[in-house]
Structure 1
């Protein structure tokens, strides 16, 4: 599967309480279960008027179908080309 970052414009997202976020999560989980294909919602970050989600799917079309079925915006869907973190510096020492 490929990893995607989804940018969702949701005015007031940063002000949503835990109950509202739990409702969104419940809806998302139900859609994932209904897709009938490999699909994983990894995590999401709420910041300001946006929610940034990390999902794993076979294609961007699957991500868009998840958004359509759930009634979620998917303003930008970007394929992750690579991942780095603090541990990536250790790889430079191998060369």
Structure 2
């Protein structure tokens, strides 16, 4: 499945408590369960005012549908075309 990076603009999200983040994760997982096996959340990176999420999904439409159903913004969705890392330099 294609990999996507989703940018979610969420002011002060970095100040949320562990309990708040757990609740948001539970909500996201509940929606994912409804959408089925063609979309999978890999992980997210929380910064001060934005969350960057990595998903596998059959298409961008499923990523958008998850955002709509969960109530989380999806300000930018980008399909990953390549992955590079330090070993790429060798």
With the length of structure 2 as denominator, give the TM-score of the two structures: 0.95
Gaps of 5+ in 2: none
Query: Residue 9 of structure 2 corresponds to which residue in structure 1?
Result: 9
Secondary structure of the equivalent of 1:87?
Answer: helix
Q: Structure 1 residue 88: deviation in Å?
A: 1.7
Q: Structure 1 residue 37: deviation in Å?
A: 3.9
Determine whether 1:62 maps to 2:89: no
| Greater Cα shift, 74-83 or 29-38 | 29-38
Query: Residue 34 of structure 2 corresponds to which residue in structure 1?
Result: 34
Structure 1 runs (4+) deviating above 3 angstroms are none
Q: Structure 1 residue 36: deviation in Å?
A: 2.5
With the length of structure 1 as denominator, give the TM-score of the two structures: 0.90
Q: Structure 1 residue 62: deviation in Å?
A: 0.4
Secondary structure of the equivalent of 2:86?
Answer: coil
* C-alpha RMSD of matched pairs (Å): 0.9
Determine whether 1:79 maps to 2:61: no
Q: Distance in 1 between matches of 2:42 and 2:87?
A: 20
Gaps of 5+ in 1: 91-95
Aligned length: 90
Q: Distance in 1 between matches of 2:88 and 2:21?
A: 33
